[in-house]
Structures are given as C-alpha cells and as structure tokens.
Structure 1
C-alpha cells in the first residue's frame, strides 16, 4: 500500500488526540504539558503548531495512521518528536514509513546536518527501528527512562 505524509489538518486533530486514551499515554506520546483529554480545538496550541510542524501519515483512502513533528533545537539540528502510530495500525511497519517520510521532510525543509530524537528505553521495537534508520545512541544526553539518539545527515 502507498502512504503519503502531509501537513496535519484540523480534520486529523480528533483522530490523533483519540490515540492518547489515558493520562499515561498522553504523557508518553505527547509529552508533559499536553492535557488529557486533548480536545481537538486545543490540539494546535497544545502541540505548538505551526512552530513545530505536524505531519500526518495517510493511507490511500486518506485515513490518518501516524503523526510526528520536528523542530529546530540548535542551528543545524532538527529534533523529531511526538512520533506515534495509530494503536489499531501498529505492527504493520508504519513506524518505518512514518519515520522515513518524516526524516526526509525535516531535511527537505531545513539545512539540518543532524536529526535527533528521544525514545523510551522500554520500547525495544522503536529503538531497533531508529538504529536501523541510522540513529545512534547518545548516553551522555540520555536519562534513565529516555534514550537520546542522533543521526548525522552530512
């Protein structure tokens, strides 16, 4: 199946917010400071759109199956965050589809020489995927719960 990454639209807000089905899931996938429940009308403000561009992974029918954001942290470095695949669509390789497209978009939109992200250490599938995509661990910038990873692009 073909997938497309497009800027997140207001019609996707309730869908993505629905994936955050508990306070714990909201903290894990959206981060501190994002309310639970996340009302669709508060989505853009809570996730700092458009300063941190949000992107939706859509299938051929236009169904939103994934979401991610990126933002500049330092000159030449873009951070990927809030990377989430619909709970109903996990296990089908969509994380790879989302990450490949999101990385390409972050690089296309900037002069970044490095991409970074944080991943929960207890998510071995995501850690393995990111390593497979060229991200390397940076223990110096990590904390016990979260692994900081970076990928040089140049």
Structure 2
C-alpha cells in the first residue's frame, strides 16, 4: 500500500468523527472534553487546538484516509497526540507508518525528543510505541492514574526513522 502523510483537511478531520462508536472510544482518543456525539463544528473546535499541526495518512492510490495524528510543542518535546488508524485498516502496520512519518515531520522542524500519552489499558498501542523505542517516563505534570507518559530520545528517533526509510526503499 502506498501511503503519504499530508496536512489534514477539514473534510478529512470530519471523517474521524465516524471512526468512534462510543463516548469511551472518542474520549480515549481525543480527551475527556470530547462530547459524544457532538456537532461537526464542536468536533473541529475540540480537535483544532492552537499550535497543533494535524496530519492525515492517506492511501496514495485512492486518496482515502487511513490514519490521523497531531504534532505540537509540549513539555519541551515534539508531542504526538490523537493518533488513530481507521478501524477497518488496523493490524496492518499503519500505526508505525503514521508515527514514523509524524516523527520525520517533527524532526524536520527541530531536533528534540518526542513524547506522547497513552491509556494504560491500551496494550496494543503500548506495544506499538515500545517497538518504536518509546519508553514509559515520569510525567511532566500531575500523574494520571489512567495514562502513561512515553518519550523517545531524539537520537533514537532518528535511528528509528532511518530504519523505517530503509525499509521503504
């Protein structure tokens, strides 16, 4: 499958709303402030935070959205947020593609560590992030009993991205 990461359009962001079928799913992905269900306008307001770049992972052959993620400046790191793969496209390695492409975007802007939060119960995501070199770290703010804070050192991120790029060629 040919993929490409692009800045997310409004239409692509609105598609995400249909990827969640419960309050728990949507809030686990987007945060506790996400209403479910909510209007398209409210969804976009919650999703589009200042200083945050939103990206879509597209299937280049048919221009369909396979995944979504955001990059922002948080805790002195490039912080990845709201990572999701289309429900019908999961278990195909696309999360690693999405994260690797987001890391490339982030490191092209500035050399620094990468961070993210993940729900403690989300074993699939925890395994994915660990396989990319992320490690559970002390949180930079009040610890949540529901979340792990994970970090990836910039040098390790570059090494991982280089491995990813070699696999792509």
Deviations 1:105-139 (A, max 9, x none): 12223x2411101112222221111111111111x
Q: Which residue of 2 aligns with 1:105?
A: 105
State the secondary structure of the residue aligned to 1:126.
helix
Q: Which residue of 2 aligns with 1:67?
A: 68
Root-mean-square deviation (Å): 1.7
C-alpha distance in 2 between matches for 1:134 and 1:149? 10
Q: Pairwise mapping of residues 5-154 of structure 1 onto structure 2 (< 5 A)?
A: 5-49=5-49, 51-60=51-60, 61-75=62-76, 77-109=77-109, 111-138=110-137, 140-141=138-139, 143-154=144-155
State the secondary structure of the residue aligned to 2:52.
coil
Deviations 1:51-107 (A, max 9, x none): 2111001002110011111111134x1111100111111111111111111111122
C-alpha distance in 2 between matches for 1:19 and 1:56? 14
TM-score under structure 2 length normalisation? 0.82
Listed as ranges, the gaps of 5+ residues in structure 1 are none
C-alpha distance in 1 between matches for 2:2 and 2:50? 26
Contact 1:14 1:39 in 2 (8 A): no
C-alpha distance in 2 between matches for 1:35 and 1:112? 35
How far 1:49 sits from its partner (Å)?
A: 4.3
TM-score under structure 1 length normalisation? 0.89
Q: Which runs of 4+ in 1 moved over 6 A?
A: none
Contact 2:54 2:69 in 1 (8 A): yes
**Residues 1:38 and 1:78: Cα distance change in structure 2 (over 3 Å):** farther
